[in-house]
C-alpha cells in the first residue's frame, strides 16, 4: 500500500476557512500536487479545482474524517478547496499531498 506524502510546508501549506449556508473557499495553491487531504468540522459538500465554489452538488463528506481528493488537471492556474454546509456551519481544512 502506498503512503500519502505531504508536500513542502513552505510551498504548499495547510489552509482552512469557515463555511455556512454560503460556501467558503481556501486560498489557492499553485499546480503540482497530485491530491489534497480535506476534513471538515461538520458534514459538508466539498469541491476541488480551479476557481471552484461548493454547492450541494459537491461530494458530501462526514465530519472530522480526513478524505483524500485528487487535484483535477486543469489549465495550470492555481486551484483551491471549497465547502458548504449540509446542515451546520463549520471549518474546512486542506493539505496538499503526493503519492509515494
Q: How is the chain split into domains, by residue range?
A: 28-94
pTM: 0.90
Read off the pLDDT band of 1 (50, 70, 90).
very low
For 40-74, the DSSP string reads ESS-EEEEEETT----TTSEEE-TT--EEEEPPP-
- CA dihedral (81, 86, 88, 94) in degrees, to 10, reads -20
* Strand, coil or helix: 17: strand
- Apex CA 69: angle with CA 76 and CA 65, to 5°? 145
Reported as a single tens digit per residue, the pLDDT across 27-42 is 999 999 999 999 999 9
What is the model's pLDDT at position 3?
Answer: 47
Reported as a single tens digit per residue, the pLDDT across 6-59 is 567 778 999 999 999 999 999 999 999 999 999 999 999 999 999 999 999 999
Cβ atoms of 5 and 99 closer than 8 Å: yes
Amino acid at each position: 500500500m502506498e503512503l500519502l506524502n505531504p508536500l513542502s510546508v513552505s510551498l504548499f501549506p495547510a489552509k482552512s476557512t469557515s463555511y455556512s449556508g454560503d460556501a467558503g473557499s481556501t486560498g489557492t495553491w499553485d499546480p503540482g500536487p497530485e491530491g489534497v487531504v480535506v476534513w471538515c468540522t461538520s458534514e459538508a459538500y466539498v469541491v476541488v479545482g480551479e476557481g471552484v465554489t461548493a454547492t450541494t452538488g459537491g461530494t458530501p463528506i462526514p465530519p472530522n474524517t480526513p478524505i483524500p481528493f485528487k487535484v483535477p488537471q486543469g489549465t495550470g492556474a492555481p486551484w483551491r478547496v471549497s465547502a458548504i454546509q449540509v446542515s451546520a456551519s463549520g471549518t474546512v481544512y486542506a493539505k496538499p499531498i503526493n503519492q509515494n
